[in-house]
């Protein structure tokens, strides 16, 4: 069965009530490819605003979630609170969480286990730094990240993988379609060897890293690229072009 193309928009720490309402209106009014699953991730403060105004058929993601059910965890959001608010996805393991906030592979894996077992879809991110790529360690770095999450996950049906080379996030540098395809293929091979043929075949692997309206069509042609996790361009009208990149 063909994997359904998936496009996520990560707003990061950007937006105001008005600008986010404008983004939502643009998506509501747009002709979007019905064969693409679309999820947008505004800052936590605006999750309910977006869910209230966004049309059916587009889902909403948190940019983080905690791995405890409730309690004295100031500043965190629980899986049950997301579900109570009809927020059906979360982004976990983004390089900015890993590098700026010090989240280890094990912390990311624990959050991923808790969210996915709780019925929330997870956009699980992995990727290498420029230094790691230049020293030929790209695949080994990603395999280590995959091994950490695989050690805690039994069921992969709620998980989408996003390959985001750190050196291409917000820099304007983009992995070539061939570079991205090579890593996506390596991820799928790892899943086949270490999880199962079924998970390798069914799990969607997204590319993230300065995706925009100009480069999305070439990237979307690659056989192991099943969609995108979009940063800055998800705040702009060209996000619609990226969603429709398979047309």
Which entry of 37, 128, 143, 164 is annotated as an active-site residue? 164
* 114-126 residues labelled b (16+ CB within 10 A) or e (exposed): bbbebebbbbbbb
Name the residue among 224, 138, 218, 131 with its Cα closest to residue 176.
218
Task: For 150-170, give the DSSP string.
Answer: HTT-S--TTEEEEE--GGGSS
**Residue 158 and residue 197 in contact, taking contact as beta carbons nearer than 8 Å:** no
Which entry of 59, 94, 132, 143 is annotated as an active-site residue? 94
Asked if 94 is an active-site residue, the reply is yes
Active site residues: 94, 164
């Amino acid at each position: 069965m063909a994997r359904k193309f998936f496009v996520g928009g990560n707003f990061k720490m950007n937006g105001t009530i008005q600008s986010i309402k404008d983004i939502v209106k643009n998506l509501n009014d747009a002709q979007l490819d019905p064969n693409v699953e679309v999820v947008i991730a505004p800052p936590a403060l605006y999750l309910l605003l977006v869910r209230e105004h966004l049309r059916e058929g587009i889902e909403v993601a948190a940019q983080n979630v905690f791995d405890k059910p409730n309690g004295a965890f100031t500043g965190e959001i629980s899986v049950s609170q997301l579900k109570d608010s009809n927020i059906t996805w979360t982004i976990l393991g983004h390089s900015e969480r890993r590098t700026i906030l010090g989240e280890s592979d094990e912390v990311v894996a624990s959050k991923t286990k808790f969210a996915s077992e709780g019925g929330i879809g997870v956009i699980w991110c992995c990727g290498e730094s420029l230094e790691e790529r230049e020293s030929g360690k790209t695949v080994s770095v990603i395999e280590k990240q995959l091994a950490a999450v695989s050690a805690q996950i039994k069921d992969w049906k709620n998980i989408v993988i996003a390959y985001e080379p750190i050196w291409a996030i917000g820099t304007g540098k983009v992995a070539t379609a061939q570079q991205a395809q090579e890593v996506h293929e390596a991820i799928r091979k790892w899943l086949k060897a270490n999880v199962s043929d079924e998970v390798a075949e069914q799990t969607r692997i997204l590319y993230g890293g300065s995706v925009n309206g100009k480069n999305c069509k070439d990237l979307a042609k690659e056989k192991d690229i099943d969609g995108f996790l979009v940063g800055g361009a998800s705040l702009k009208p060209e996000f619609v072009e990226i969603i429709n990149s398979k047309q």
